[in-house]
């Protein structure tokens, strides 16, 4: 490895280990141009701390989707590295039995064919479904990384986590949990603090099984009868933004008690009439002769997604829930660590006794003690998403990742 300021590129290293790797759907020669440090491979048996960051854009898909195994394989080829097959709100109440059968058949097909697949999770409705689905999946259960636990609260969540632990022990499977904070009790101001404290204590007891905490912004908004329009971010919806802030405060601390918290869902994928100006400046796209890409992002309302991902990161969230494959490239391009960020983090982590120093880019002050937790988190993201080459922009990364 070379000093972060040299601008020299590390070897790609993709053949050293089996598994998956972000941007592995991009041509190797193009990857060599894009990255100063290449993304490192990972697989479903890695340390959960690595997997939580590697989730990236987690694509949700209803369990009733026709040709589900084909859809999962296609998503993997487009760069999707984590996917949730949903048996809860994404399907009608009367379709649960059909959805379970479709899911089991799809996993059996994937397992038989042995094709590429992302990290796979199932969002269940009830604790009993966890053991039942594992039994029905048989050998195909080895494709499953874990379960998403909806409407999570301290009172209802214990049964989900106990069912998960019992099922994992019975089958010898490394199953992980992603609880979703979205229930009214964790949203309303008068009950939120107590409920989040109770959730924190429950999750601490099951820490080894908790991969990440997800935010159910749709249900949070529903508690107030709200729905954000595509030209505003979730942070513009003040009641919901307050909930996110409190969740990060209680469950996302950097003192060893916190968990990775993922960004809330972006639910738009085609544009209607716009009220506000586009949120993407034209200059970075013009410099890369990528004006058509900018126009396509605006037409698909992805400029709003890009702004929201920036705000997610600034507020301590990692990755994002998405509902369309076209969203994935933007989330992953913004997850790549910039060369400037990497230089700052390397300098901060290279100082043992504290103190302040000017950044290598001579545009900010780095303080070794208060910025250390930020630097450690950033280096973990650099491990799975890589570090961009010094002269590579988000636009170039987005163009490379956006493979139909």
- Tell me how many degrees the CA angle 126-132-136 measures, rounded to the nearest 5: 140
185-190 long-range contacts, CB within 8 A, separation 24+: 185/153, 186/152, 186/153, 186/243, 186/247, 187/219, 187/220, 187/223, 187/243, 188/223, 189/242
CB neighbour class for 304 (10 Å; exposed up to 12, middle 13-18, buried from 19): buried
Strand pairing category for 387-388 and 35-37 = antiparallel
pLDDT of res. 369: 86
pLDDT of res. 199: 98
Residue 237 lies in a domain: yes
pLDDT of res. 116: 85
Question: Residue 357: which residues within 8 A CB-CB, separation 6 or more?
Answer: 347, 351, 365, 366, 368
Dist. CA 374–CA 378, nearest whole Å: 6
pLDDT of res. 14: 42
pLDDT of res. 99: 98
pLDDT of res. 2: 38
For the chain, the maximum distance between any two Cα atoms, rounded to a whole number of angstroms, is: 61
Residues of the chain falling short of pLDDT 50 = 1-8, 13-17, 271-277, 298-299
pLDDT of res. 394: 87
Residue 362 lies in a domain: no
Residue 104 lies in a domain: yes
Residue 242 lies in a domain: yes
Compute and round to an integer the Cα radius of gyration of the chain: 21
- 401, 378, 267: which is closest to 321 by C-alpha? 267
Q: How many domains does the chain have?
A: 1
Residue 109 lies in a domain: yes
pLDDT of res. 17: 38
What sign results for the dihedral spanned by CA atoms 309, 310, 311, 313? positive
pLDDT of res. 366: 80
Residue 40 lies in a domain: no
Residue 121 lies in a domain: yes
Residue 238 domain boundaries: 47-325
pLDDT of res. 277: 46
Residue 167 lies in a domain: yes
- Output the domain CATH number for residue 173: 3.20.20.60
- 222, 252, 251: which is closest to 237 by C-alpha? 222
- 151, 153, 239: which is closest to 197 by C-alpha? 153
């Amino acid at each position: 490895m070379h000093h972060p300021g040299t601008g020299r590129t590390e070897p790609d290293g993709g053949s050293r280990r089996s598994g998956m790797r972000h941007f592995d759907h991009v041509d190797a020669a193009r990857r060599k141009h894009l990255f100063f440090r290449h993304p490192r491979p990972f697989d479903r048996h890695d340390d959960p701390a690595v997997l939580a960051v590697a989730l990236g854009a987690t694509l949700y898909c209803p369990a009733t989707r026709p040709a589900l195994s084909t859809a999962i394989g296609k998503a993997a080829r487009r760069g999707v590295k984590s996917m949730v097959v949903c048996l809860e709100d994404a399907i009608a109440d009367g379709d649960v039995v059909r959805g379970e059968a479709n899911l089991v058949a799809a996993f059996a097909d994937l397992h038989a064919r042995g094709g590429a697949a992302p990290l796979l999770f199932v969002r269940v409705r009830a604790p009993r479904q966890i053991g039942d689905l594992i039994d029905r999946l048989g050998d195909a259960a080895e494709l499953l990384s874990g379960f998403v636990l909806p409407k999570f609260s301290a009172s209802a969540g214990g049964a989900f986590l106990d069912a998960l632990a019992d099922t994992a022990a019975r089958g010898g499977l490394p199953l992980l949990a992603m609880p979703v904070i979205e229930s009214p009790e964790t949203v309303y101001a008068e009950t939120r603090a107590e409920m989040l404290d109770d959730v924190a204590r429950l999750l601490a007891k099951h820490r080894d099984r908790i991969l990440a905490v997800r935010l159910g912004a749709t249900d949070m908004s529903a508690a107030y009868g709200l729905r954000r329009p595509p030209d505003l971010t979730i942070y513009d919806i003040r009641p919901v933004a307050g909930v996110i802030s409190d969740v990060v405060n209680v469950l996302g601390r950097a003192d060893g008690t916190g968990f990775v918290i993922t960004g809330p869902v972006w639910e738009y994928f085609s544009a209607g009439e716009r009220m506000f100006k586009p949120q993407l400046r034209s200059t970075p796209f013009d410099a890369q002769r990528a004006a058509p890409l900018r126009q396509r992002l605006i037409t698909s309302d992805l400029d709003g997604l890009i702004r929201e991902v920036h705000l997610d990161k600034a507020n301590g969230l990692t990755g994002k829930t998405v509902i369309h494959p076209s969203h994935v490239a933007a989330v992953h391009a913004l997850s790549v660590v910039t060369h400037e960020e990497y230089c700052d983090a390397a300098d901060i982590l290279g100082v043992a006794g504290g103190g302040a120093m000017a950044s290598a880019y001579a545009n900010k002050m780095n303080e070794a003690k208060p910025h250390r937790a930020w630097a450690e988190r950033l280096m973990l993201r650099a491990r799975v998403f890589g570090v961009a080459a010094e002269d590579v922009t988000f636009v170039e990364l987005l163009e490379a990742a956006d493979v139909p």
